[in-house]
Amino acid sequence: MSIQVRNIIKHYGDTNVLDNVSLEVKSGELIALLGPSGSGKTTLLRIIAGMEMADSGTVLLDGREALSQKAGERRVGFVFQHYALFKHMTVFENVAFGLRVRPKNERLEEKEIRRKVMQLLTLVHLDKFHDRYPSHLSGGQRQRVALARALAVEPKLLLLDEPFGALDSKVRKELRRWMRRLHDEIHVTSIFVTHDQEEAMEVADRVIVMSNGKIEQMGTPGEVYHQPANSFVYDFLGNYNVFEGWKDEEGNTHLLEYDVKEDEPASQTVPLPRPGGWMSRYPEITHLLRKVLPGVLPGDTSILPIQKKKAARPNYDKPVKLFARPHELFVAKSPDEHEYIRAQVIHINPAGPLVKVEMERRNGNVLTAEVPKDVIDMLAIQKNDVVFVRPKNTRVFEGS
Amino acid sequence: MNSMNDARMKNSFKLKQPSVIPGFGFALGFTLLYLTLIVIIPLSGLFIKTATMPWHTFVSTVTAPRVMSAYKISFGISFIAALVNVFFGLIIAWVLVRYKLPMKKLFDAMIDLPFALPTAVAGIALSTLYSPHGWIGELLAPLGIRLAFNPAGITIALIFVGLPFVVRTVEPLLQDMDAELEEAAAGLGASRWQTFSRIIFPYICPALLTGFAMAFARGLGEYGSVIFIAGNVPMVSEIVPLVIITKLEQYDYAGATAIALTMLLASFILLLIINLLQRWGNGRMKS
Amino acid sequence: MKASLITESLQVRVLLSVVAVLFIAIFVGLPLAIVFAEALSKGFQAYTNAIMSENARSAIKLTLLVAAIAVPCNMVFGLAASWAITKFEFAGKRLLITFIELPFSVSPVISGLIYVLLFGTNSMLGEWLDRHDIQIIFAVPGLVIATIFVTFPFIARELIPLMEEQGTESEEAAIMLGASGWQTFWHVTLPNIKWGLFYGVLLCNARAMGEFGAVSVVSGHISGLTNTIPLHVEILYNEYNFAAAFAVASILTLLALCTLLIKSIIEYYFPYEVKALH
């Protein structure tokens, strides 16, 4: 079943829950609606299901207006976050429910119903539990029953509302893999809602990132992660570090490091040691002159562009924020000719192939870097060491 | 932006939120029909009847000496009985929630008896119990205390009917109360009494007030439990419901209706107060 | 409870416990005891005679008849009202709930009075009824209506918090699977509320059979015709026929005790299925 959502608007009282949302889903796709709570993703899902109605806009299922059909006729399967299993029915009876409530002329024979139900239960590996009650099942098992129940009526669209939200992480990971495999087998168009970006990235063909009732970006997991459309998407899909910077006239970006003291120049790298000359003999005078007339004295590297050209003055009119993922930070024990930020290591988390290093800058911000273990060992970086950090790859989002 | 605001305002009030579950029209329709036939029309009848009564007649009816003293008795004694119930009800709720007692479940179930027992049965039982030859009446007679066939008897009866209201309103609060609050207070040096008066009591105060109001409202209208033990002497121990019935028996429908209206108004005001108290109580619990 | 940091001293605890137990024993226990003591005071034979007397039997029959009509009506109302209130969002819900709880605040005497005003000989409908020879007050229909008024909130009041707590997801799931409204109600909702419904019906029934004030006003006290059990008790008592009065009263008392017993059992085994009173 293909789905077209056009210009959906929904309010609850004064809040705009969905603000002119449009999207398309091709038949057979597995889509994730990803976003924080309050982003409107569950409301959108329920509107597609027909359980709630939008204030304006249309939903087309296979080209037909969804509202023109009764809820049960739309062939939409819905899996609730808390399963909504019928507590007083066994697993078998739960799954058979949709088949048994069909009007007499459409209903299958009980034998046939039994066959289909057991087939589904085998598919979800719960055939041995068919006469158990939901209260005697684990969360993961209950969720599989809910899925089987929804699949029993052969829906053309499967909608799942935070299907794994109420489960603990190990079970979640297993069920994720399992759902992916299930979808590969049955190819039902599916949309699931989640706030867990890892889940969306691992399972979905396409991810739709939502926030505050709007769609921020739609794309494959690779697209939204590596080519985020804006800072929200970037932020939501992973950890990051942010640096203040500025753009020079040529459009190059530079790092800006705020100093703790007011009177020091705002941009500073660690001055490179230069051998010889009267400046090294009278470091105090040199230092004073550098403070008063930055960039004038030869060898004054107080402002250095990455390309090592003659420095332009910091242009505070064009502030930018530079974003870098933890694995995109380059950590060194001593600086080279690039721009560096000085920081002190406050914590090292050695668990895993990538060591997480937390560092505190002079302005109080904390940077997180993921560094391969052998680099850490080679540099012999330890807690309280002063290190120099440079983002290898940055993203810029204008303004704030 | 402005059109968005307009759309928002238009849509923010809906008579009913659309839902995928069917049966609303039928269920609500039946409910409203039932209510209209059973409640609204009859109650309106009462209001209409009084509306046809000239104002000065109305006033003279409800301010007649016998009626006024009945008001005093009904309101006054309900108040006292509700007060007694607050005091003892709190103690009972406290003991039931916090202490271990033999047969505690039995005592707990007994609290509901005034609620479940028919009023007439309660009436004759209490009357027999406290009359001068009854089990309790006998004990108190030598002391010169008579608790039957006088206002004291009314008080006893209203204490009986009002008891479950206070206990059942306060119990859940005491049960859900966080022991940590008291531990914190005790850790800061508060004595048991201080912990109670400064921490626990304010917490259960709304429930106590609600229970009081409910017991008071119940006492105002109570008939069956009271008339056997009351004595029913006009101007002395006659409650308002009895005055209404007496007027009915004398075919003074207008008079009965007028007095009924005043009681109805009092009930509505009390209902409103109880609702507000409950909302106040819920609001405090949520924070 | 935990350590002695948050419990009172032993003396205080003993004092409070004694006060509580004494209060309950005196105010609740003694009246209960005296019903049975007096009922049997003239011996078992007298007890049986009182219950089996012709007037008593017709009172019992009448009470059962009134309850048999009032309780099912109120059950349908309770189910309809709680379905509308708990499964949907609509304006005016609070007002509706207030109206449903109204009978609890109205004096039983007034509850009877309004029907006398409506159907009595001097009322608006009175003449029409007279012409068609329909008797409502001072007859069984009046008793039924007055009883319905006084007892209709019980079932709704029991179901509403329960169904509110259970939410709408199960019903939504059933609808999405293709069930009709009735199928959903019958197969999904009803099994979930069965204990709450049962308890509500029990309470409604106990109150319907024991109602005194409202019924007293509309009945006319015609022995053998319009006397329910409570009215019969009153008549016997006023005739100073104490033992018989208490004998008949003991029937209702036993009913009340059974109701409380069943309530305790349900609450013990299905604590989550019976919510209202807590």
Cβ-based contacts of A72 with chain C (< 8 Å): 175-180
Instruction: Find the CB nearest A11 among B8, B18, B20.
Output: B8
Q: Which residues of A touch B19 (CB under 8 A)?
A: 51-52
Tokens coding A81:
């976050």
| Chain A nearest CA to C86, separation (Å) | 16
Q: Which residues of B touch C114 (CB under 8 A)?
A: 42-43, 45-46, 260
Task: Judge whether B7 is closer than 8 Å to chain A, CB to CB.
Answer: yes
> What's the pLDDT score for residue B287?
46
* CA-based nearest residue to B121, from C252, A342, C102: C252
Say yes or no for a CB contact (<8 Å) between C109 and B221. yes
Chain C residues within 8 A of B125 when measuring between CB atoms: 31-32, 34-35, 246, 249
> Beta strands A30-34 and A189-194: pairing type?
parallel
Determine the Cα–Cα distance for residues C150 and A110; give it in Å rounded to an integer.
47
Interface partners of chain B (CB pairs < 8 Å, 3 or more) are A, C
Asked whether residue C141 carries a pLDDT value surpassing 50, the answer given is yes
DSSP string covering A195-259: S-HHHHHHH-SEEEEEETTEEEEEE-HHHHHHS-SSHHHHHHTS--EEEEEEE-TTS-EEE----
Co-location of C119 and C178 in the same domain: yes
Would an 8 Å CB–CB cutoff place B159 in contact with chain C?
A: yes
Those chains having 3 or more beta-carbon pairs within 8 angstroms of chain A are B, C
**Angle, helix A110-123 to helix A139-152, in steps of 10 degrees:** 140
Structural domains counted in chain C: 2
State the CB neighbour count (10 A cutoff) for residue A62: 15
User: What tokens appear for C216 in the block?
Assistant: 């007293």
Q: Model confidence over A152-191: pLDDT tens digits?
A: 988 989 999 998 887 888 888 888 888 888 888 888 999 9
**Number of helices and strands in chain A (H, E):** 11, 19
Q: If pLDDT is split at 50, 70 and 90, which confidence band does A377 have? A: confident
Average pLDDT (A258-274) is 38
Residue A297 has pLDDT above 70, yes or no: no
**C278 found inside a domain:** no
Comparing A246-250, A339-343, B223-227, the range with the smallest average pLDDT is: A246-250
Quick check: is C97 in a domain?
yes
Question: Looking at the domain assignment, is residue C209 inside a domain?
Answer: yes
Cα separation, B75 vs C196, whole angstroms: 35
Distance from CA of A215 to the nearest CA of C (A): 27
Asked if A55 and B7 come within 8 Å (Cβ–Cβ), the reply is yes
User: Tell me, what's the pLDDT at B30?
Assistant: 94
CA nearest to C155, candidates C97, C83, C71 = C71
Chain C: closest CA distance from residue B187 (Å): 8
Mutant choice from C15, C24, C233, C266 vs B, greatest count of B C-beta within 10 A = C24
**CA nearest C175 in A: which residue?**
A72
Average pLDDT, chain A: 80
Q: Do A52 and B18 touch (CB under 8 A)?
A: yes
d(CA B78, CA B90): 18
B11 touches A at CB < 8 Å: yes
B97 close contact with C: CB closer than 8 A: no
Same domain, C147 and C124: yes
pLDDT grade for C222, boundaries at 50, 70 and 90? low
Instruction: Name chain A contacts of B24, Cβ cutoff 8 Å.
Output: none
Same domain, C79 and C153: yes
A213: closest CA among A12, A37, A44, A18? A18
Does residue B216 lie within any of the structural domains? Answer: yes
SS3 content of chain B, % helix, strand, coil (to 5): 80, 0, 20
Q: Does B186 fall in a domain? A: yes
Range of the domain at C12: 1-39
Range of the domain at B145: 57-286
B142, part of any domain: yes
Closest-CA residue in chain C for A95? Answer: C177
8 A C-beta contact, residue C66 and residue C228: yes
- Contact list in A for residue B18 (CB cut-off 8 A) is 52-53
Query: B28 in contact with C at a CB cutoff of 8 Å?
Result: yes
User: Which residue type does A319 have?
Assistant: P
Amino acid at A381: I
Determine the Cα–Cα distance for residues A342 and B262; give it in Å rounded to an integer.
82
- The total domain count for chain B is 1
- What is the pLDDT tens value at each position of chain B, 287 positions in all? 444 444 443 444 567 777 788 888 899 999 999 999 999 988 888 888 888 888 888 888 888 999 999 999 999 999 999 999 999 999 999 999 888 888 888 888 889 899 889 999 999 999 999 998 888 888 888 888 888 888 999 999 999 999 999 999 898 888 888 778 888 887 787 788 888 888 888 888 888 998 999 899 999 999 999 999 988 888 888 999 999 999 988 888 888 999 999 999 998 888 888 888 888 877 766 54
Task: Say whether A9 and B7 touch across the interface (CB within 8 A).
Answer: yes
Query: Are C178 and C74 in a shared domain?
Result: yes
pLDDT for residue A115: 93
Q: What is the CATH number of the domain that holds B234?
A: 1.10.3720.10
pLDDT score recorded for residue C82? 94
Backbone angles phi and psi of A79, in degrees to 5: -115, 120
Distance from CA of A82 to the nearest CA of C (A): 9
Asked if the structure places residue C277 within a domain, the reply is no
pLDDT at A301 over 70: no
Residue with tokens 């609606």: A33
Tally the residues of chain A: 400
Of B4, B7, B18, the CB nearest to A53: B18
In a domain, B26, yes or no: no
Any domain includes B221: yes
Pairing state of beta strands A30-34 and A206-211? parallel
Mean pLDDT over C205-215 rounds to: 92
The H-assigned helical ranges of A61-192 are 91-100, 110-123, 139-152, 169-186
Q: How sure is the predictor about A25, in pLDDT bands with cuts at 50, 70 and 90?
A: very high
Percent of chain A with pLDDT strictly greater than 70? 81
Clarify whether residues C153 and C74 are in a common domain.
yes
pLDDT value of residue B129:
92
- Contacts of A235 by beta carbon, 8 Å cutoff, 6+ apart: none
Mean pLDDT, range C100-127, rounded to an integer: 84
Residues of chain A with C-beta less than 8 angstroms from the C-beta of B12: 11, 13-14
A69 CB near a chain B CB, below 8 Å? no
Q: Which of A40-49, A236-245, C172-181 has the lowest mean pLDDT?
A: A236-245
Mean pLDDT on A27-33: 93
Q: Where are the beta strands (DSSP E) in C122-165?
A: none
CA distance C73 to chain A (A): 27
B233 located within any domain: yes
C69, two tokens: 């009509």
Residue C196 shares a structural domain with residue C136: yes
A379 exposed, middle or buried (CB, 10 Å; 0-12, 13-18, 19+)? middle
- Please report residues of C whose CB lies closer than 8 A to that of A98: 177-179
Residues C18 and C71 occupy one common structural domain: no
Best of A10, A43, A46, A53 to substitute, by most chain B Cβ atoms within 10 angstroms, is: A53
C274 occurs within a structural domain:
no
Considering only residues B50 and C205, tell me which one the structure prediction assigns the higher pLDDT. C205
Q: How many CB atoms lie within 10 A of CB A246?
A: 21
C199 falls within a domain: yes
Task: Give the residue from chain C lying closest to A88, CA to CA.
Answer: C191
- The chain A residue lying nearest B13, using CA atoms, is A13
Mean pLDDT in residue range C210-238:
84
Question: Does C31 share its domain with C64?
Answer: no
Confidence of residue A132 (pLDDT cuts 50, 70, 90): very high
Burial-class residue C185 by CB neighbours within 10 Å (0-12, 13-18, 19+). buried
Classified as helix, coil or strand, A29 is: coil
Whether C81 and C8 map to the same domain: the answer is no
- Kindly state whether residues C113 and C156 are assigned to the same domain: yes
Binary contact (A13, B4; C-beta < 8 A):
no
**Per-residue confidence (pLDDT) for residue B203, from 0 to 100:** 85
Report percent pLDDT > 90 for chain A: 24
Distance of residue A200 Cα from the nearest chain C Cα, in angstroms: 24
- Under DSSP, the state recorded for A128 is G
Q: pLDDT of A186-234, one tens digit each?
A: 889 999 999 888 889 888 999 999 999 899 999 998 888 888 888 788 8
Angle, in degrees to the nearest 10, between helices B65-98 and B253-286: 30
Reading the block at residue A330, the tokens are 């380059």
Q: What are phi and psi of A245, to 5 degrees?
A: -155, -175
At B282 the pLDDT is: 75
